[in-house]
Amino acid sequence: MPKAYELPAPGQHFDPELFRLGKPCKRNHIHADGMTLRWRKRKVCPLCERIDSLAKQEEKRKDPEFRRKQAEYVREQRKLHGRPSRSKYGLPYAPVPDEETRAMRRAIASAGRIPSVARLVFDQQHDHWRAYPDDYLAYSRLRAKLRSRWKFMTDPSYRLYHRAKSKARKVAQRGGTPSHLTSSHLWRHWAAFNHRCAYCGCSGDLEVEHVIPISQGGQHHLGNIVPACHLCNSNKGTRDAHDWFKSKPFYSESRWHKIQSVLAKSQPTAHQPSFLALIV
């Protein structure tokens, strides 16, 4: 609603340049403190003025003579000044289209929803793949490879599962019997070490580290696996876990006992050298 038609609600602040408080009006419209809000210049109640104006307009609409005079006045004004624009932004009416423009508008209206540029490109791409299935096969392989790589970089559970799967494949190639470990199994096992490296205690991207190396007969099982950072895992290599750990400046007797206690709780199902027997 335009600001000229907006009136302050009872009790609200009003503009003193437009309104003032006066004695109650005939309809007793109280604004505040038993007084009526009035126009400063005309000194009348704006609510009463609006009610009287609407009543007069209603009476004029019921008078057929008034409607005839009003229509005649509008026709005369249009002859003198033309028809005023009813556009929202005050723009003039569009010119009357020719027959070619009308035909084009009818064709667009009857065509229904026009496909977008993306949809046209999508349909054209699928037409090409239907004609050349080898191109689609190459695209699918590349897309699957990129999607797997992206998931490996962003999803820790997916990355952990594939690292464990690679280690299990290595054990199987050496004639061992690896256990099937999911990311949930390893994630719960990592929680026992507070999701930190079992050796140096740093957090971050943890790898699957076999305390007894696979090359020395170690099996792929929770009783032989601890989380380790990349530096510790690569530096340890195939060396004895206790000797290597004891030679490092971050060696901790309490951390080593924790490794022993956690691994002792996860008894291996496959035959492998006893971890406790090797470190005695």
- Domains of the chain from N-terminus onward: 32-80 (no CATH), 156-279 (3.30.40.220)
Q: What pTM, to 2 d.p., does this model score? A: 0.51
Residue % of the chain over a pLDDT of 70: 88
Range from 81-85, 165-169, 174-178, 188-192 carrying the lowest mean pLDDT: 81-85
Mean pLDDT, range 178-183, rounded to an integer:
87
Of the candidates 253, 235, 252, 231, the one whose C-alpha atom is nearest the C-alpha of residue 244 is 235
Return the higher-pLDDT residue of 267 and 10: 10
Q: How confident is the model at residue 113 (pLDDT cuts 50, 70, 90)?
A: confident
Burial class (CB in 10 A: 0-12, 13-18, 19+), 229: buried
Top-ranked range on mean pLDDT: pick from 125-139, 148-162, 206-220: 125-139
The predicted-structure confidence for 225-276, as pLDDT tens digits, reads as follows 999 999 999 998 888 888 999 998 998 899 899 999 988 887 655 444 444 4
The pLDDT value given to residue 96: 63
Residue with tokens 């038609």: 5
DSSP-derived letter for residue 277 is H
Q: Phi and psi at residue 22, in whole multiples of 5°?
A: -140, -170
Q: Would you say 178 and 219 are in contact if contact means Cβ atoms under 8 Å apart?
A: yes
Position 120: which residue type?
L
Of the candidates 211, 180, 189, the one whose C-alpha atom is nearest the C-alpha of residue 275 is 211
The terminus-to-terminus CA distance of the chain in angstroms comes to 89
The pLDDT value given to residue 123: 93
Secondary structure element (H or E) that encloses residue 116, with its range:
none
CA 22 to chain centre: 57
The predicted-structure confidence for 27-38, as pLDDT tens digits, reads as follows 888 888 888 888
> What are the beta bridge partners of residue 39?
19
- CA angle centred on 15, ends 14 and 17, rounded to 5°: 145
The pLDDT value given to residue 112: 79
For residue 279, is pLDDT > 70?
A: no
Q: Please give the structure tokens belonging to residue 86.
A: 């009813």
Q: Would you say 179 and 269 are in contact if contact means Cβ atoms under 8 Å apart?
A: yes
Q: Please give the structure tokens belonging to residue 30.
A: 């109280």
The predicted-structure confidence for 229-240, as pLDDT tens digits, reads as follows 999 999 988 888
Residue with tokens 């190396």: 213
Q: Cα–Cα distance between 247 and 249 in angstroms, integer?
A: 7
Sign of CA dihedral 187, 189, 192, 196: negative
For residue 176, is pLDDT > 60?
A: yes
Q: Cα–Cα distance between 76 and 46 in angstroms, integer?
A: 33
